[in-house]
């Protein structure tokens, strides 16, 4: 399998002014355009968390998008880690919003 066809999964933790600025919905729209599966949710500490899975190039484009976010967002940093098997259980067919954790 070529690297371009490889499916990868990444767990993202986005910090900065990322709540109340249309960040989650914008990420959902970007992920769906890219064909990336997963979810996004607000965290009670003011950050946003996401899980993205799909073709490596598409997931990387979404990670790059996450570093900027929508116009009103002020992203300070995005922590990216490989997702583990437990995080992938119950992964939606599309890209969904989850409840705040």
Q: Where are the domains of the chain?
A: 3-83
pLDDT tens digits along 80-93: 999 987 788 888 88
Active site residue 5: no
In this prediction, residue 90 carries a pLDDT of: 81
pTM of the predicted model as reported, rounded to 2 decimal places: 0.92
* pLDDT tens, residue by residue, 52-72: 999 999 999 999 999 999 999
Of 17, 37, 42, 98, which one is the catalytic site residue? 42
**CATH architecture entry for 3-83:** 2-Layer Sandwich (3.30)
Catalytic residue among 5, 17, 24, 67: 24
pLDDT at 7: 86
Question: Catalytic site residue 24?
Answer: yes
- Cα separations in angstroms, 87 against 39, 50, 74, 79: 11, 11, 27, 16
**What letter does residue 83 receive in the DSSP assignment?**
P
| 13-33 pLDDT, tens digit each | 999 999 999 999 999 999 999
Using alpha carbons, list the distances in angstroms from residue 81 to 40, 42, 66, 72, 78.
15, 18, 14, 25, 10
């Amino acid at each position: 399998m070529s690297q371009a066809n490889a499916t990868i999964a990444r767990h993202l933790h986005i910090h900065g002014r990322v709540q109340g600025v249309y960040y989650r919905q914008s990420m959902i729209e970007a992920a769906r355009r890219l064909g990336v599966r997963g979810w996004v949710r607000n965290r009670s500490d003011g950050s946003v968390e996401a899980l993205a899975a799909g073709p490596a190039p598409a997931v990387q484009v979404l990670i790059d998008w996450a570093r900027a976010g929508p116009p009103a967002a002020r992203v300070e940093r995005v922590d990216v880690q490989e997702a583990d098997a437990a995080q992938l259980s119950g992964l939606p067919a599309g890209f969904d919003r989850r409840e705040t954790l």
